[in-house]
Amino acid sequence: MLSRFVALTVVVCAAFLFSTPRPIVAVAPQETAAQVDFDSLHAQATAALETLQVAHERRLASIEAPEF
């Protein structure tokens, strides 16, 4: 009896979930890809890499510094 109730509950919940309409989002993938400025992304990545390298060099310099 309990197993039938659980099975019926699962079927009702599944039917409810599949019957609800899903929101429709219109996305134009070609337009989105065309709007990406790869030169700007490359410049930002280069700047971030340089910042990381400077931070790494500072950390190495602080580790290598003699302690008194």
How much of the chain is helix, strand and coil, in % rounded to 5? 75, 0, 25
For residue 64, the model assigns a pLDDT of 74
Residue 42 CA to residue 37 CA, distance in Å, equals 9
| Per-residue pLDDT band at 55 (split at 50, 70, 90) | very high
For residue 65, the model assigns a pLDDT of 66
Q: The pTM is what?
A: 0.43
For residue range 18-41, list pLDDT tens digits in order.
Answer: 887 777 777 666 655 567 788 889
* CA 4 to each of CA 7, 12, 16: distance values in angstroms, whole numbers, following the listed order: 5, 12, 18
